[in-house]
Amino acid sequence: MPAGVVDVAAKGVRLERHAVLLRRAAGAKQLVSASSHLLFRATVLATLALVVLFAVHYPSLLSHSFSLSAAPASGSGSSLSSPREVRRSATPRRDGALSVLVTGAAGFVGAHCSLALRDRGDGVLGLDNFNAYYDPALKRARQRLLASRGVVVLDADINDAALLERLLSAVPFTHVLHLAAQAGVRHAMRAPQAYVASNVAGLVAVFEAAARHADPQPAVVWASSSSVYGLNTEAPFSEDHRTDRPASLYAATKKAGEAIAHAYNHIYGLSITGLRFFTVYGPWGRPDMAYFSFARSIVAGEPITLFRTSDGADARRDFTYIDDVVRGCLGALDTAGRSTGSKSGKKRGPAPLRVYNLGNTSPVPVTRMVAILEKLLGKKAHKRVVTMPTNGDVPFTHANVSHAARDFGYRPATSLEAGLRHFVDWFVRYYKVDVRGGGNVLAGKTAKRKSMPMSAAS
């Protein structure tokens, strides 16, 4: 066969092979395309099926109403509070009364304030996330007591922005009492992110919801702290003193909160009042506080640690009884003044921006507090005295409350002796402590019992 014919035949064979390969590739492409279409359709159908199932089982989350979780009276598990229950709790029972959203309502100050507001006829709705910073059983017990007085406390977190937006859009709150926070000076060294998440991000979430999703805007009263005075050495501590030298991360987050409050007041016309609490104590208190942990250690026969400054002086605190603080909180709410902004972002003019000390004005050596507890519990403490570490604690606190006295009549009226007596009365009942004959035995951390008054003066 001539060479030219052979070349043509070879080329023909190669062309035929290419054609076969191209046909195979086209077939594979069509198969992949068909598979992709089938997969897409299957995915769409599966998604629609999931949406239908979700709508059937959780219709409230796809509607304009809201369902919010709140633990039942037994404190075990959780259930859904209906919009009707939420609104009933938030509705005032007398003309001219307030409607207050209280965050941290199952906490120490939050529970007392919620009861005091309810007792005078205000509407109250609480939020709390029941975290485990200290025994949640105590928070659940406070929640049950509030429920017995008609106050709903929702199991919710202030960092849930969508929930706050729905809530403030649906309920016409006149005020927000924002007490939810991560507390504790020393714990901040072990869990710093918790403080930023709660005391900074959580505060922003509350301000955002109040400023941009409520109509009308509520006035906000929130818990700052005496810790913002930090390394200040002027005494008594005044709101006019500098607060730019925090001694702990906790203090720094509260100082940041005061700066954030200024921004939301300026931009959105939100009425904001910050309250700097000074070592609050009393019945239903926080177990991490010194007076509470000392009482438990004394009863259990365990040693307690007392701090002294480097020059040998006792640490001193401006111990402030809970009922005095509650009166200050209610006074701040009553005189807060209106917000001047709106959901549209327009501001009618300046809104109130205030900050107040709430203290007792009488610093007491911690050793004196221990001596009172020893007398009330009928048992001596095993003391261990050490030099105060550089962990954020300060050697003393001392409140000047003249601004609060001028603006809403704040006058602390409870001595440390009287306040600790009320605390010990509650403590021995709640924990079933036998103080007769020097028995002093803790019956259990979370003893079951009937609800009792929050404090002797409530």
Give percent of the chain with pLDDT exceeding 70. 76
Q: What is the dihedral of CA 164, 165, 166, 169, to 10 degrees?
A: 120
Residues that are catalytic: 250
Predicted local distance difference test score (pLDDT) of residue 80: 54
Place of tokens 């500098």: 242
pLDDT digits (tens, 9 = 90+) for 352-387: 999 999 999 999 999 999 999 999 999 999 999 888
The pLDDT assigned to 395 comes to 75
Please state which CATH class domain 83-278+321-360+396-412 belongs to: alpha beta
Integer Cα distance of 19 and 39 in angstroms: 30
Residue with the larger pLDDT of the pair 117 and 53: 117
Runs of H (alpha helix) within 58-120: 83-90, 108-119
Q: Which of 75-89, 95-109, 334-348 has the highest mean pLDDT?
A: 95-109
Question: Is 119's pLDDT higher than 90?
Answer: yes
Question: Is 0.75 surpassed by the pTM of this model?
Answer: yes
Q: Where is 374: in which H helix or E strand?
A: helix 366-377
More confident residue, 268 or 51: 268
Torsion, Cα 361 363 368 369, to 10 degrees, reads 60
What percent of the chain clears pLDDT 90, i.e. is strictly above it? 67
